[in-house]
Structure 1
Amino acid sequence: MELLNRHVTIRKFTPKEISTDLLKNIIYSGTRASTTGNMQLYSVVVSRDKKMKEKLLPLHFNQPVAKSAPVLLTFVADFNRFSKWCEYNSATPGYNNLLSFTNALIDAVLVAQNVCIAAENNGLGICYLGTTAYNAKEHIDVLELPKLTFPVTTVAIGYPEEIPDLTDRIPLEGIMHDEVYTNYDEVSIKKLYAFKEGLESSKQFVQENNMQTLAQVFTNVRYKQADNEFFSKKMLETIKAQGFVID
């Protein structure tokens, strides 16, 4: 719990390489995560080669962390491997559907988080890159992913150059619901987000973006509706192109 409670995202890494044995041990620990029906519906593509990382960099919007990390781990929702096992053993797979895609998606995220915890327990730092799903089609091309797979997320991993302070979280009473979901009114919402909004870093964030509130920074700058709709459409097209039927 102490390890989890002091987690921070690392965006600056030293040039120190990660040994192959350590990397394998970390990924093995990832495979001990819970998985749907013990099917292990995921794969992990390890990118260490400089030229390969250069190909991936623009797909991550040229984030410096994607360039400086010695290793990029792309976690893939993978029903290709399991389906082939079925076919080679006189069984007919029926996994080209929304439920199967969701199961594989969850499996990939679970193994990714286990890998991150194992990495941090070995003195490494991590940074999730959400840009993977934004540019799934391009990742599929670069990483040569077959049908019935989908790149879910990437983790930049390496030895931290610096350890930032803990980031804020809303109070636990905003997360926990006893027995049934308790909806939020304006008073409770203001209370839950008061600390976040009162931080000097948040106030500076608002000022730098010429907004009136922190919420406007998220809706008007960081995660705009037009961008969400564009990438949603692109993502859905890619999911269907990968053989998952989602209507």
Structure 2
Amino acid sequence: MTEKRDLLKVPLRHRTIREFTEERVDEETVNLLLEVANHTATSTGMQSYSIVRVKDEAQRKAIAEVCGQEYVARATELWIFIVDAYRNSRIAREQGVHLDSERDMDRFFQGYVDGSLAAQNVTNAVEALGMGAVYFGSVQNNVDKVIEILELPELTFPIVGLGFGVPNQEPQMKPRMPMKLKVFEDRYETYDNYLELIADYDKEMETYYDLRDANNRVDCFSKQVVARLEGVIPERTEVVNSIRKQGFDLNLKSE
């Protein structure tokens, strides 16, 4: 049992790595990680996702601009995971089958979940190999631009970016809120005073940010919640329109 528990040390030490050394990831390792992605469980076995490995410097810089994070362009490896219902649509059409279901909401979310699971599997493998990784959910800041940069056809959609390589930093592990607020038995639990329940966590987060960068003050978690709600990125609120432009029928009904 002890040896089995040792296997959990890697995921329990997870940290986001944003800076990498100049050491390249060899192609054998890249291919191994792609095999890890390829063996990820997928909804009904349809494998409705794909990966775009971004190597072109101009494309990297353009994606970094969308993300508002210049270090995106410096990631040793930059992979964008995408919903891909296009491939299966073509497979069906080449058999003379043209169905509206190829672009329905179920197809979209199957691909979204498939791609997200694959991204996490790759991250687990990256860390098991002693490297580090960072997710770029910020590709959602302007998905239309990312679609343009990657020349994505209809029935595809960017989910998340993943940067990885050999770490060039040793960040602290980020504290997490109490499990009591995130894990329930049989039914969802609600509480009368959440601020009281996360008071210690707020203090822990303040200490974490103070130690990480004393010159770049960051508020406690509860204040960050408010800041995130206030700091809306307009393009992200209209993402459903981008999904539609990619040919998916989300079948939204007005009240």
| TM-score normalised to structure 1 length | 0.88
What's the offset of the Cα at 1:245?
Answer: 1.5
1:168 aligns with 2:175: yes
Matched residue, 2:88: 82
Matches of 1:103 and 1:27, distance apart in 2: 20
Q: Per the alignment, do residues 84 and 170 of structure 1 end up closer, same or farther by CA in structure 2, a change over 3 Å counting?
A: same
What's the offset of the Cα at 1:64?
Answer: 3.5
1:20-169 pair list within 5 angstroms = 20-61=27-68, 63-93=69-99, 94-169=101-176
1:5 aligned partner, one-letter code: L
Unaligned stretches of 5+ residues in structure 2: 1-7
Matches of 1:76 and 1:49, distance apart in 2: 18
SS in 1 for 2:20: coil
Matches of 1:31 and 1:51, distance apart in 2: 28
Count of aligned pairs between the two proteins = 241
SS in 2 for 1:160: coil
2:118 aligned partner, one-letter code: V
Matches of 1:134 and 1:110, distance apart in 2: 21
Unaligned stretches of 5+ residues in structure 1: none
2:77 aligned partner, one-letter code: V
Moved segments of 4+, more than 4 Å: 202-205, 207-211
RMSD: 2.4
Give the stretch that moved more between structures: 188-197 or 3-12: 188-197
What's the offset of the Cα at 1:203?
Answer: 7.1
Matched residue, 1:200: 207
Matches of 1:184 and 1:136, distance apart in 2: 36
Matches of 1:16 and 1:162, distance apart in 2: 14
2:130 aligned partner, one-letter code: G
Q: Could you tell me the percent identity over the aligned residues? A: 23
